[in-house]
């Protein structure tokens, strides 16, 4: 395989995926929304097109992909977006329809391997049925995104999906998304946590997983990648430490019943404004009482994911959040 197309190659995940592809000797082309975060973001050998691929005709897309054997889909809307109601319609149009169209056109153009960047909420929609995440817009459409891509690939294109958890790292010209959380904690004497935890990876590991899935992934397989499992209390404490508030901010573990009314009010106010969270806040917060953990061994060997210092990556990410 000589050339790979990365959709969203100037974003956080796409940028590192391109770096990993280049390190393994692939040629790369990309298309991403303008502007570039920095003028010199990508090496000169990367064929970079700025624009919205969804505005291109079918013929133009097939021509764009004609010399590519791989396609990595590192674009789309995530659960941080709070769209106008109904959220199901928004996420369907943002994530499902474009993926289905591009998978179909990629196969028609001769692409052999297609990798989707998905979400670990799709994984827990299957693992935690009592939460009825399939009824929530974001997990529902992430599952559907996978299925339409798998179906479009049938017969001649291997399609795989990475189910991505909390991701850490920095890149030129962009502030880490975690700044929204450090901003919430700044100056607060108490920042409580619920009793659960989450799995985490570095952005370099996402890139390694993407290339590994393209090279060795099996059609219709989903890969929930992981490297480190951590409680929410410990993660929040790392943010407190990064802010220099170790002596002034406490991070106690509290019961869900203590915060449920607050999150119910957030859902009520969203409905009042005519918007809707992709996962309702009462559901999202209740999930934080669970250990949303994944065994790293499930995917590290299969996809060739290397060991990285996740703790150090978290520290560097939070340091940039505070600095910015």
Whether the CA torsion 49, 54, 57, 59 is positive or negative: it is positive
**pLDDT (mean) for 265-278:** 97
| 236-248 tens-digit pLDDT | 999 999 999 999 9
Helix and strand numbers (H, E) in the chain are: 13, 11
Of 196, 77, 181, the closest CA to residue 137 belongs to 77
**pLDDT (mean) for 78-105:** 97
Supply the pLDDT for residue 106: 98
Contact 135, 274 (CB under 8 A): no
- Measured between alpha carbons, how far is 256 from 287 in angstroms, rounded to an integer? 10
Percent of the chain exceeding pLDDT 70 equals 100
Contact 103, 159 (CB under 8 A): yes
Contact 213, 115 (CB under 8 A): yes
Give me the residue label for tokens 């919430």.
Answer: 184
**pLDDT tops 70 at residue 141:** yes
- Measured between alpha carbons, how far is 133 from 196 in angstroms, rounded to an integer? 17
Contact 141, 98 (CB under 8 A): no
Supply the pLDDT for residue 214: 98
Confidence of residue 82 (pLDDT cuts 50, 70, 90): very high
Percent of the chain exceeding pLDDT 90 equals 99
Confidence of residue 6 (pLDDT cuts 50, 70, 90): very high
Supply the pLDDT for residue 62: 98
Contact 232, 196 (CB under 8 A): yes
Supply the pLDDT for residue 74: 98
Confidence of residue 175 (pLDDT cuts 50, 70, 90): very high
| 51-75 tens-digit pLDDT | 999 999 999 999 999 999 999 999 9
Q: What mean pLDDT is reported for the chain?
A: 97
**pLDDT (mean) for 229-257:** 98
**pLDDT (mean) for 278-298:** 98
Confidence of residue 1 (pLDDT cuts 50, 70, 90): low
Supply the pLDDT for residue 20: 98
As a whole number of Å, the end-to-end CA separation of the chain is 40
């Amino acid at each position: 395989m000589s050339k790979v197309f990365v959709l969203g190659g100037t974003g956080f995940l796409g940028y590192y995926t391109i770096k990993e592809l280049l390190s393994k000797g692939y040629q790369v082309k990309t298309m991403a929304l303008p502007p570039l975060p920095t003028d010199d973001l990508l090496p000169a050998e990367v064929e970079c097109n700025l624009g919205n691929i969804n505005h291109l005709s079918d013929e133009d897309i097939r021509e764009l992909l004609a010399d590519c054997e791989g396609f990595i889909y590192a674009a789309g809307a995530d659960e941080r977006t709070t769209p106008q109601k109904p959220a199901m319609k928004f996420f369907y149009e943002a994530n499902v329809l474009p993926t289905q169209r591009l998978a179909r056109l990629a196969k028609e153009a001769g692409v052999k391997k297609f990798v989707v960047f998905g979400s670990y909420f799709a994984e827990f929609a299957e693992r935690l049925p009592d939460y009825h995440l399939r009824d929530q817009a974001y997990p529902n459409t992430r599952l559907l995104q996978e299925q339409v891509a798998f179906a479009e690939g049938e017969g001649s294109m291997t399609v795989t999906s990475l189910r991505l958890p909390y991701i850490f790292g920095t890149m030129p010209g962009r502030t880490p998304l975690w700044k929204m959380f450090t901003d919430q904690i700044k100056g607060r004497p108490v920042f409580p946590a619920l009793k659960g935890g989450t799995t985490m990876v570095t952005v370099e590991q996402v890139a390694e997983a993407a290339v590994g899935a393209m090279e060795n992934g099996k059609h219709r397989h989903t890969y929930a990648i992981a490297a480190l499992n951590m409680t929410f209390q410990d993660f929040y404490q790392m943010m407190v430490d990064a802010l220099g508030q170790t002596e002034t901010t406490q991070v106690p573990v509290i019961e869900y019943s203590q915060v449920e009314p607050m999150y119910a009010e957030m859902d009520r106010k969203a409905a009042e404004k005519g918007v809707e969270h992709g996962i309702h806040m009462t559901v999202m917060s209740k999930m934080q009482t669970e250990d949303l953990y994944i065994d790293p061994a499930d995917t590290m060997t299969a996809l060739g994911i290397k060991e990285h210092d996740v703790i150090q990556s978290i520290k560097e990410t939070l340091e940039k959040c505070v600095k910015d």
